[in-house]
Amino acid sequence: MSRASRRAAAPPAGSRSVLAGFLSLLGEVLITVGLVLGLFVAYSLWWTNVLADRHAAARGDEIRRQWQAPAPEQAGPGALDTRGGVGFLHVPAMKNGEVLVKAGTAPDILDDGVAGYYTEPVKSALPWEEKGNFSLAAHRDGHGAKFHNIDKVKNGDAIVFETRDTWYVYKVFAELRQTSKYNTDVINPVPKESGRTAPGRYITLTTCTPVYTSKYRYIVWGELVRTEKVDAKRTLPAELR
C-alpha cells in the first residue's frame, strides 16, 4: 500500500482523539465501579460483622447483669425475664464464642449478630421443655456470621446451651450438608431426616450454604444428653473447658 493510500485509510486525528478520550473515560468508570464493589464487599463481609458483634456483646453483657439479680419468685425452669434473649449457645467446634439466642429468625433479628429460635413456620421447643426440637438459625456470612464454621461440626461434638440456672448439653448425631431452603421438615419436633423417629429433646442448627450464598440450607442435629445446674461461680461444663 502506498503512503497516500495509508493516509487515506487511517482515521482522522480528531476521531483518534475522541476514541482515546472514550477509552480513558471507560477505564475510569470501570475503576470506580470496581472500588464501589470492593467497598460493598468489605461492608457486607467485614463491617457488618464488626457492628453486629458490638451489638450482640452489649446485649449479652446486659443479660448477664440481669442474671446476677435475684431470680423472680414465679419464674419456672428457663422462664427468665432476659428482655431480648433466652440464653447463650456454645459450639466449641465452630470457635465462635458464645452466641446470644433470641426469639425469631427474621433478618432484623439475626442481623444483630445473634442466633434466633424459630417461631414459624414450625414453632421451636425450648430446652427446658420435656419434648421437642430447639431449632435455631444464624447467619453464615456477614452480620456476625455466627454459624460460619458450621461445616466444622461433626458427629459426637458438643453443643451447649446456657440459661441463668441450667446448662443443657447436647451431642451432635447427624448433619445434612445441603437441602432446600423451603424444607421445613428439618425443624419438626421429630426431625425424621436426622434418622430419629420418636419424640426426644433435640437441637437443630440451620444456616445458609454454600458459603456467601443463600441458595440452600445446612443442617446439624443434636440430642440432649444431660443437664447441669449452674453453680455460684458459673463453672463451665467439661465440654467447654
Residues with a catalytic annotation lie at 208
Contact, 181 vs 150, CB < 8 A? no
* CA 235 – CA 218 distance, rounded (Å): 32
Q: What 8-state DSSP symbol labels residue 215? A: S
The partner residues of 204 in beta bridges, in order of sequence, read 135, 221
* CA 136 – CA 88 distance, rounded (Å): 12
Q: What 8-state DSSP symbol labels residue 241? A: -
* CA 218 – CA 151 distance, rounded (Å): 8
H helices of 43-114, where?
A: 48-67, 107-110
